[in-house]
């Protein structure tokens, strides 16, 4: 569930774990993102890892960098909300 400005809450612990698993500092992560054509600033990374809402675009680009589905980076509450919406849309298709 995003705010009206398109920002979403991410799981700060999961983000830190992904970054640490590949051995990057926040600054190096921002540099590596830029090298891959992903526009994720160090300030966005810091906000996300502090638990502050970030733009959905930022979440999507971090997920792309880590090669994981964007939903795995969301807080549990937003992930559950999205699962419910998908389930509802699937029920309508049947």
> Is residue 61 in a domain?
yes
> Is residue 1 in a domain?
no
Report pLDDT for 75: 83
Residue 57: pLDDT band by 50, 70, 90 thresholds?
Answer: very high
> Is residue 45 in a domain?
yes
Report pLDDT for 49: 96
> Is residue 2 in a domain?
no
CATH of the domain at 46: 1.10.260.40
> Is residue 30 in a domain?
yes
What's the structural domain count of the chain? 1
> Is residue 81 in a domain?
yes
Q: Which pTM does this prediction carry?
A: 0.77
pLDDT tens, residue by residue, 61-93: 999 999 999 999 998 755 454 555 554 554 454
> Is residue 19 in a domain?
yes
Residue 25: pLDDT band by 50, 70, 90 thresholds?
Answer: very high
Residue 26's domain comprises: 7-93
Average pLDDT, stretch 42-60?
Answer: 95
Residues 6+ apart with CB under 8 A from 93: none
């Amino acid at each position: 569930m995003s705010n009206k400005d398109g920002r979403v809450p991410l799981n700060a612990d999961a983000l830190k774990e992904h970054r640490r698993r590949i051995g990057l500092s926040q600054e190096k992560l921002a540099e590596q993102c830029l090298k891959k054509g992903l526009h994720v600033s160090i300030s966005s990374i810091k906000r996300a890892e502090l638990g502050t809402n970030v733009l959905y675009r930022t979440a999507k680009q971090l997920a792309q960098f880590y090669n994981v589905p964007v939903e795995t980076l969301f807080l549990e509450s937003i992930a559950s909300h999205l699962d419910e919406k998908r389930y509802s849309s699937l029920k309508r298709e049947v």
